[in-house]
Amino acid sequence: MPRHQQVTTCRRSGGPISRGCTCEHCNLSMCGVCGAYEGGLTTDCPGTNVDFDKQREVYETCLDYTDARGWHLGAPMDHRSPRFTSTRLPPTAPRTDPRAIIAPSINWAKVDQNRALQHELTLRAIAWTLADRQCDDLSAALVCIKDEANGVHTEPNILLSKLEEARTNFRLACRRVEECDDELRQAARELVDALEAPPQSF
């Protein structure tokens, strides 16, 4: 596999990199072949695009890539020295994400970077739905017992016990719905905050 090849084209202007520009191409060590940069760079270039999750794994763990061993656990990131070739290439043209055609106002790259938060939001939404469904079922059961009380078809003491149990279960279910609702809102806020946050570099 080739060594890393430093990007030399400014992402904003399309011209040569410049110290006066603040884009990542002009300020970071970035490979035009694998797309990794700074702490996400492996020792040697794997020769194919490395997605954000893989770059983060490289940055946060001892995951590395070398020509001799391929992908493996090696030295920590602060002990690695990415090898660049002396030949410099411009970055490959960005590919259009088909999702951007449908919803161009959404930063889909940032959405992909926060899949863990999306998964957490999904779990919270499911928990809220199940709790709300149980609350509806217990509410219906409480109504049935009240109707039964109006008909006085059951022993009063037994009916009173059933009614009190149904009320307790309904109150607990309502409390659980409120808890799930708070957790769902919090997860939604965390995801939106992450999506609105400025991009982070390694």
Picking from 3, 130, 113, 5, the residue whose alpha carbon sits closest to that of residue 51 is: 113
The per-residue pLDDT for 16 is: 85
In a domain, 106, yes or no: no
The per-residue pLDDT for 145 is: 81
Last residue of a domain, one of 91, 125, 140: 91
Please calculate the CA angle 107-47-66 and round it to the nearest 5 degrees: 115
In a domain, 160, yes or no: yes
Do 4 and 76 belong together in one domain?
Answer: yes
Which residue carries 């809102």 as its tokens?
185
> In this model, does residue 114 exceed pLDDT 90?
no
Do 84 and 145 belong together in one domain?
Answer: no
Record the pTM.
0.43
Do 10 and 83 belong together in one domain?
Answer: yes
Do 81 and 5 belong together in one domain?
Answer: yes
Query: Which comes out higher in pLDDT, residue 30 or 160?
Result: 30
In a domain, 99, yes or no: no
In tens, the pLDDT along 117-174 reads 888 888 899 999 999 999 999 998 888 888 777 765 556 677 788 888 888 998 999 9
Last residue of a domain, one of 91, 126, 160: 91
Instruction: Print the domain residue range for 38.
Output: 1-91
Do 64 and 3 belong together in one domain?
Answer: yes
Picking from 162, 158, 132, the residue whose alpha carbon sits closest to that of residue 145 is: 162
Mean pLDDT, rounded, for 95-122:
74
The per-residue pLDDT for 89 is: 54
Query: Distance between CA atoms of 202 and 179, rounded to whole angstroms?
Result: 36
Contact 67, 44 (CB under 8 A): yes
Which of these ranges, 16-25, 28-37, 51-60, 98-107, has the smallest mean pLDDT? 98-107
Do 12 and 70 belong together in one domain?
Answer: yes
In a domain, 98, yes or no: no
In a domain, 36, yes or no: yes
In a domain, 170, yes or no: yes
Q: How many domains does one find in the chain?
A: 2
Do 123 and 63 belong together in one domain?
Answer: no
The per-residue pLDDT for 177 is: 92
Query: Distance between CA atoms of 99 and 90, rounded to whole angstroms?
Result: 26
> In this model, does residue 72 exceed pLDDT 60?
yes
> In this model, does residue 95 exceed pLDDT 70?
no
Sign of the CA dihedral running 59, 63, 66, 71 = negative
Query: Which comes out higher in pLDDT, residue 97 or 191?
Result: 191
